[in-house]
Structure 1
Amino acid sequence: MKKKLISTLLISSMLLTVSTAPTVVLADEFDNKIEQQDKKINDLNAKAQSASAQLAAIQSNIASIKEEAAALQSEQDSLNKEVNKLQTEIKALEERIAKREEAIQEQARSVQVDAHSSNMVDLVLDAESVTDAVSKVMAATKLVNANNDLMKQQQEDKADVEAKKASTEDKVAEIQKNAVVLENKKGELQNQELSQTAVVSAIAAEKETEQSKKDQLLAEKAEAERQQEEIRLANERAAAAAAAEAEAQKETETSTEPSVDNNNNAGTGTTEQSTTNPGNNGGGTTNTGNTGNGGTTTPTPQPEEPKKPIPTPPPSAGGIVGTAMQYQGVPYVWGGTSPSGFDCSGFVQYVFAQNGISLPRVTTSQEYAGTMISLSELQAGDLVFFGPRGSTHHVGIYIGGGSYIHAPTTGDVVKVQSMSGYMPSFGVRI
């Protein structure tokens, strides 16, 4: 019986030792994993800061180009107005010059005829004196010279205006060339912005995933520690019950008579009692074990799968022209690609995208997205471009009847324009 008592105490001691050791190992394992997650998260934080700084630099460059483009557009508008004014002046001067040249030529012919005819001789002979004759001849000559001077001055004025016009048109061509460069640069920077935004979003998503893994590890560690604590408490209760049983057996042996039969009977009685009591006490332990097992076998409610979004039906606005006409009045915004604000190529790209057609972002790329056609071949839905191919600076959508819809310039809105007011250079059929 003493051996049994010693065995019971040893088993209780071993239970407590075994239940404590795995807890330490398990905690270290979780701590190592959590430390690794922290390292990953810190690395991702550094990447996110770098990527965000690059995105900010790209956006700053885009803002700078927007300001430069706005200044160029404003200057181009002013020069276009100046050219129109000069053209009006030239037309008026040409009309006046034509009339005056006709009068001057008539007067010149009259003077030349008079000067070489007998009438000139008669004019001199009929003079009252030599002085009178000289005066009359000088007056006729002066009239001819005056007319010649007037004609010369008008020709000089015309040449001066023509020179101004040529200079202004050269300046407009230079500005349009710069606009093409800015348009291409805008496209490059916007592509960089989209790409860098995707990088920033990907890093943020990866960081969120790693943080979720860390949170899961922390939760698993807490749950493991809770279960280990329950096991430890259950083992302590079992050890206490075993010690109590051993004490009860010791008291029973002390109070039993020395007879062999009595000892056997007492042993039997003790055994029955021991079997019953520890069983009941063990039942407490078993309940605790069941509680632990219940924690692991109880079905965990599964989260409902997110409902898939219902796809938005394609627009039915009557094709390219119908879609484009819906956005009349939307303000011009350099670099704009949405109904909150469009630039010329952004408007075209958006309208075609609404009809399931993907186009490049900038004008100089859009002009190669289809087949080049002449203005006489235009049909509704074709694109119209302004400037030589490869260096276009503006684009619109032909709507038929000699008109097109476009996003004109800063300070203006999406509107319909007659080709007679602003003539495109060529068309493209997508």
Structure 2
Amino acid sequence: MKHRYKFGFMTLFLVGLTTSILSTSVVLADEVSEAQNALDANKAQSNDLNQQIQDQENKVAQLNNQVANKTLEISKTQKNISANQAKLAKLDTKITKTQKEVKQRRQTLQSQLVNLQKQSNKSALGNVYADFILSGSDLSDIVSRAVAVQKINTANHAALTALTDAQQKLQTFKDQQQTQQAALVNAKQQLETEKAKLDTAKLEATNQQTQLQNQLNANQAATSGLQDQLKAAQDKQAQIEAALKAAQAKAAQTQAAAANQQTEATSAATTATASGADLAANNSDYQAELNANLPSSAANNKIIQDAMQYLGVPYVWGGTTPAGFDCSGLVYYCYKLEGKTVPRVSQGQSTVGQYVSLNNLQPGDLLFWGGVGTAHHVAIYIGNGQYIHAPQPGENVKIGSIAWFRPDFGRRY
């Protein structure tokens, strides 16, 4: 009888426990559902932020390319200004020399007139040339003097005309050069104004990109917390469900059997948790190995190996040397190292070679953002969905991923 009371009490206890577990399981199911819904919403928001970041990255790359091209234009215009200044300096020297020659020629003419006047004994007509001719001793002397005067006049007139014409031409050319110089200076000022606007736009785009990245980081942190919350609720629900099954199975058994069953359920839950941790660790190791190893074909590609030497080199607008590269400058320099010539800027680089879709990329292909002939960014594909590029000012040459900044097409040379 004592055992029957004890068994009856145990049965009532297990029934009550089962009812309590059922109620708890329903509550936990609601928690799991809410956590899952919140996690799904957060993941959707993360995907949206990722897309916005890609769009902003693309905008920054476009502005970056425009600034680099504008920098090249300013440099070219400055060279033209310097060359024009040198021309103006030479013209000033020539004009000064011509002015001295005109002055000397006039002084020579004045000396000739003085000498002629000295050779005239008297002034009959008030004209130096006429007086000189008429003061001849005889007709033959008069004719000789007339011929001499004509030769002097002709020579002086020709010399003065030539010098005056040369002086006028030099002055006209100088005026043209000064007009051209003013136009070049104005063009440079306009380019610098445009570049300043691009700098401002790029700064705003970069700041927006940073804000989006911060939102994404916060969202990812929240996602991680929700994943932990969901995992905890799922684990707890699994434990409750296991306990519910155990309580139902033990309703007709002894207390010892129920205790054993509960112990086995607890052990199984512990084992499942350990297995999940091992799986997560293995997946993490796999990802690390995937990122660390490039395909063997990349090791045999000279362009890739050349580019890898410059990892860490800073971005410089218009840069084409290891002191600093822009995106197209890195490609231009690496191809030049291998004795190959490609256009200097990304727009030109995107028009040569064979078009390649993103599904058929091979290590060594060039990746482009934008359109053919209007590309605003370029990188060198190294395999495994990765590429090496010079991103933007403030960053160094580094390896990027198509998953985070997706190009539009490739070219194979």
Tell me the residue number matched to 2:225. 213
> Against the structure 1 CA distance between its residues 182 and 283, is the aligned structure 2 distance closer, same or farther, given a 3 Å change threshold?
closer
Amino acid corresponding to residue 22 of structure 1 in structure 2: T
Task: Report the alpha carbon displacement of residue 148 of structure 1 after superposing the two structures with TM.
Answer: 2.5
User: Distance in 2 between the 1:332 and 1:218 partners?
Assistant: 43
For 1:177 and 1:288, the matched residues in 2 are separated by 82
Residues 1:105 and 2:112 are matched in the alignment: no
Aligned match of 2:58 = 56
CA gap of 1:286–1:40, structure 2 versus 1, over 3 A, is: closer
The normalised TM-score by structure 2 is 0.54
**Equivalent residue number for residue 150 of structure 1:** 162
The answer to whether the 8 Å contact 2:60/2:205 transfers is yes
CA distance in 1, matches of 2:51, 2:82: 46
Q: 1:264-413 residue pairs with structure 2 within 5 A?
A: 278=254, 280-281=256-257, 283-284=259-260, 287=263, 333-334=316-317, 340-341=323-324
Contact preservation (8 Å) 2:102, 2:163? yes
1:88 equivalent among 87, 90, 100 = 90
Say which SS state the counterpart of residue 334 (structure 1) adopts. Answer: coil
- CA distance in 2 between counterparts of 1:51 and 1:238 reads 56
Q: 1:127 to 1:229 in 2, by over 3 A?
A: farther
Q: In 2, distance between residues paired with 1:332 and 1:131?
A: 86
Tell me if the contact between 2:46 and 2:220 (Cα under 8 Å) persists in the aligned partners: no
Alignment equivalent of 1:240, drawn from 248, 252, 266: 252
Counterpart amino acid of residue 225 in structure 1: Q
Q: Give RMSD over aligned pairs.
A: 4.0
Change (3 A) 1:294 1:63: closer
Q: Return the offset for 1:142.
A: 1.9
Larger Rg: 1
Please state how far the C-alpha of 1:86 moved relative to its aligned partner: 3.3
Secondary structure class of the residue paired with 1:128: helix
Pick closer, same or farther for the CA change 1:22–1:294 going to 2, 3 Å: same
Q: Give the superposition deviation at 1:157.
A: 2.7
1:52 is paired with a residue whose SS is helix
Task: Check 1:133–1:92 CA distance in 2 against 1; reply closer, same or farther (3 A cut).
Answer: closer
What is the identity, as a one-letter code, of the residue corresponding to 1:341? Answer: G
Paired amino acid for 1:63: N
Deviation at 1:164, TM superposition (A): 3.0
1:226 aligns with 2:270: no
Q: Structure 1 234/68 Cα, relative in aligned 2: closer, same or farther at 3 Å?
A: same
After superposition, give the CA deviation of every residue in 1:186-219 in whole Å (9 maximum; x if it has no partner).
4413422431231132122123213212321332
The equivalent position to 2:21 in structure 1, one of 12, 19, 25, is 19
1:153 partner letter: D
Q: TM-score, normalised by structure 1?
A: 0.52
Partner amino acid, structure 2, of 1:98:
K
Q: Verify the 8 A CA contact 1:101 1:151 in the aligned structure 2.
A: no
- Report the counterpart of residue 209 of structure 2 in structure 1: 197
Name the aligned partner's letter for residue 138 of structure 1: Q
- Between the aligned partners of 1:140 and 1:91, the Cα distance in structure 2 is 29
Taking the aligned partners of 2:102 and 2:172, their CA distance within structure 1 comes to 18
Q: Tell me the amino acid that sits aligned with residue 149 of structure 1.
A: T
Cα distance in 2 for partners of 1:193, 1:168 equals 37
1:28–1:127 distance in 2 versus 1, CA, 3 Å: farther
Aligned counterpart, 1:169? 181
TM-superposition CA deviations, 1:229-284 (whole Å, max 9, x none): 3312431343121xxxxxxxxxxxxxxxxxxxxxxxxxxxxxxxxxxxx4644653
> Structure 2: which 5+ residue stretches go unaligned?
122-128, 272-312, 327-413
User: What SS is found at the alignment partner of 2:229?
Assistant: helix
Secondary structure of 1:180's aligned partner? helix
Deviation of residue 342 (structure 1)? 8.7
Does structure 2 conserve the Cα–Cα contact (< 8 Å) formed by 1:111 and 1:140?
A: no
Using the aligned pairs only, state the percent identity: 16
Higher relative contact order (CA 8 A, sep 6+): 2
Secondary structure of residue in 2 paired with 1:220: helix
Contact 2:98 2:167 in 1 (8 A): no
Letter in 1 for 2:75: Q
Q: Distance in 2 between matches of 1:156 and 1:127?
A: 43
Specify the SS of the correspondent of 2:173.
helix
Matches of 2:141 and 2:270, distance apart in 1: 147
Q: How far apart in 2 are the matches of 1:148 and 1:100?
A: 7
After superposition, the Cα gap between the structure-2 partners of 1:133 and 1:229, relative to the gap in structure 1 and judged at 3 Å, is: same
Q: Secondary structure in 2 aligned to 1:240?
A: coil
Q: Which amino acid aligns with 1:180?
A: E
The 8 Å contact of residues 35 and 229 in structure 2, kept in 1 or not, is answered as yes
AA matched with 2:40: D
Distance in 2 between residues matched to 1:40 and 1:279, nearest whole Å: 46
1:108–1:144 Cα contact (<8 Å) kept: no
Distance in structure 1 (CA, Å) of the matches to 2:260 and 2:85: 102
Q: 1:332 to 1:83 in 2, by over 3 A?
A: farther
Contact map agreement 1:58 1:193 (CA 8 A) in 2: yes
Alpha-carbon contact 1:94-1:158 (below 8 Å) kept: no
Distance in 1, matches of 2:162 and 2:118, equals 24
- Number of residues paired by the alignment? 273
The alpha carbon displacement at 1:6 in A equals: 6.6
* Aligned equivalent of 1:181: 193
Deviation at 1:17, TM superposition (A): 3.7
Amino acid in the other structure paired with 2:82:
N
SS at match of 2:140: coil
Secondary structure of the corresponding residue to residue 251 of structure 2: helix
Q: Does 1:69 align with 2:71?
A: yes
User: Quick one: distance in 2 between partners of 1:140 and 1:177?
Assistant: 55
Take 2:315 and 2:261, find their aligned partners in 1: how far apart are those partners? 78
Task: Specify whether residues 333 and 164 from structure 1 end up closer, same or farther in structure 2 by C-alpha distance, changes over 3 A only.
Answer: farther
Give the whole-Å Cα distance in 2 for the aligned partners of 1:175 and 1:111: 54
Q: Distance in 2 between matches of 1:44 and 1:286?
A: 41
- Paired residue type of 2:39: Q
Shift of residue 333, structure 1, vs aligned partner = 3.6
